[in-house]
Structure 1
Amino acid sequence: MHLVETMAYAGEKPWHGLGNNLAPQQPIEVWRQEAGMDWKIERSEVRYITGSNSVGVINAFPEQKVLYRSDSKCPLAVVSKRFQVVQPGEILEFYRDLTACSGFELETAGVLRGGRKFWALARTGQSTTLKPWARTHRRSHVYWRAVVDKALIREYFTGLSSRAETACLKAATQQFYECCMKSSADSSAPLPHDSQPAG
């Protein structure tokens, strides 16, 4: 089961096969719609019923608010009245200048857990390549070699809403390690000296 509700991607299809494929360098408005981030988070007072068997007086609890989706009216969380809402579209809006002026390229964006989380990921254009390397592994008298012919490290910038109950918005650069790896298992093969990746 995937927690992805909706998402969009540019380039290679994700491993899970979900999402709407977009041509590169689409405007933020297209990403917002195709990633399923074209709704707003609304708020309402928490209300409760006093009495027996849900029959009685409806009361308000002004210190707490219910957050819910504007499109489906589904509840997202109960938060304090001081909670600052980050809208799904604001995550993408953050990337507008970065994609227009700084060479960033949106790669994925979407909604998780019914709207409780949403994210966007952009490639920064920064990368480096490591030298080929090999490493020997042993498990239960079976040895195998992992040989990396080419290793590419790409840098990405991620914007992620935290849980709907917290006011935290995370933004960070991350480096992903992409490699072309061969492996072989042979308990009788001679084991040459291991080499480590160049740092």
Structure 2
Amino acid sequence: MTTDVNTAFAQEKAAQIEDLREEARTFQERIDRGEIAPIGGDRYRVLTGWDEGETFTVRRNTEGRIELILAQHGLDTTAGGAALYASTPAWHGLGTVIPDGTTDIDEVLKLARIDWEVNKQPVLYKWDDAIRDAADRYVTLRTDTGDALGTVGERYKVFQNRRVFKFLQDLVQRYDTVWESAGALRGGRKVFVTMRIPHSIVIDRGGLNDEIALYLAVINSHDGTSSAESVVTPWRIECGNTERFATRDAVHRWGIRHTKGGLSALEEARRTLGLTLDYAKAFEVEENQLVRTDLLIDDFHKMIDSLWTVDEDATDRQKSFAQQRHDELEGMFHEGARKLGRTAYAAERTITDFLDHRIGVVPRNLSEDLARAQRSLEGTNDDLKSKAHRKLLLLTQ
């Protein structure tokens, strides 16, 4: 069995969109079941499934019936067509597809429509018929269109697209791999490239044969809201949703701040990229150890209790919530064990699935679905996942 989240996402997306076009009631039924929620105006967000977090724009007629459903790909269309290059057709059918891909970074930048540069100009304002500049405030702008991308400070260092992505070229040529995808999002505020890591992870070879393809993605921002980032992830970026999934499900990452010394961090990232392959191999060994380790239900209960401790002076409400969580996790483990066996691997998959898709959120200013998406983006549960992985590995010994 091969686990390819990109294929699964594309297949579900294509089927979903086709079904929704033919029969809008399917979408309404998902809303009624609580799988899709309104987020203001005519926009909706998906709460469950491969497309969790994706947004749709819904148009209704005067009677309130759904007439048109538009999936939001988030790709930049400023320069005309969608800013995307891919070696495999994406679910939305946009961009330039080169079957089997290419190894030439300059061709990738051109095909993806991201071969432009970014300048930093002082922020100007008018006061009393005179033009002044704002101290320590600058605007980043595209050199091809002149569009403003964001407002930054004096210390902010612009990283040009080619400069950030070029450091992967050596890795591409060394291992004879191709660029899988590249493009721009949100009007060029974010740009990305993705390549596949040569070594896939195969769990329980000859048994489950669960193969996980990993990709190395580099994401650069130009609006001052985030660092440049390199992530090892099971997702091939081809739209705004898969960019979010790639960062959410990253198994390793490097952050590169937009400062003068940031490029030094970029070089350090390149030197450590070789460790990525070693990491994938080591992770495969560990996951196979979990597959071969039978797990007693009592050990699963102990792990849950160690991950989510309940104080003796906890309130009745807190104890009740803890018991509900305990019962849900146990049910998920029994369900997963039917396919994966009653193993430590099934336990880890249970914990990961619960943290990513099931765990409740107590939001302050956000709706629950938005809070869950924010929690995934911020990696709030990464420590719990790592802790569970380490505890399960101890059982293998």
Q: Per the shorter chain, which TM-score range?
A: 0.7 to 0.9
Aligned pairs for 1:7-156 (under 5 A) are: 7-10=84-87, 12-23=88-99, 24-51=101-128, 56-130=129-203, 151-156=210-215
**Alignment-mate amino acid for residue 218 of structure 2:** G
1:4 — aligned with what? 75
2:223 — aligned with what? 164
Q: TM-score, normalised by structure 1?
A: 0.73
| Separation of aligned partners in 1, 2:190 and 2:90 | 19
Higher strand share: 1
Q: TM-score, normalised by structure 2?
A: 0.38
Give the secondary-structure state (helix, strand or coil) at the position aligned to 1:4. Answer: coil
Cα offset for 1:25? 2.9
| Separation of aligned partners in 2, 1:85 and 1:172 | 20
Return 5+ residue gaps in structure 2 as ranges: 1-71, 77-82, 237-334, 346-397
Q: Deviations over 1:107-153 (max 9, x none)?
A: 00001111100001100111133459xxxxxxxxxxxxxxxx86420
Q: Deviations over 1:48-89 (max 9, x none)?
A: 1113xxxx1111113111110000000001100110111122
| Separation of aligned partners in 2, 1:164 and 1:28 | 23
Aligned 8 A contact 2:149 2:222 in 1: no
2:373 — aligned with what? none
2:233 — aligned with what? 174
| Separation of aligned partners in 2, 1:114 and 1:121 | 19
Give the secondary-structure state (helix, strand or coil) at the position aligned to 1:126. Answer: coil
**Alignment-mate amino acid for residue 109 of structure 1:** A
| Separation of aligned partners in 1, 2:116 and 2:163 | 11
**Identical residues among aligned pairs (%):** 24
Query: Following TM superposition, where does structure 1 have runs of at least 4 consecutive aligned residues deviating by more than 2 angstroms?
Result: 23-26, 102-105, 128-132, 149-152
Return 5+ residue gaps in structure 1 as ranges: 133-148, 178-190
Which one is further off, 73-82 or 97-106? Answer: 97-106
- The higher relative CO (CA closer than 8 Å, separation ≥ 6) is in 1
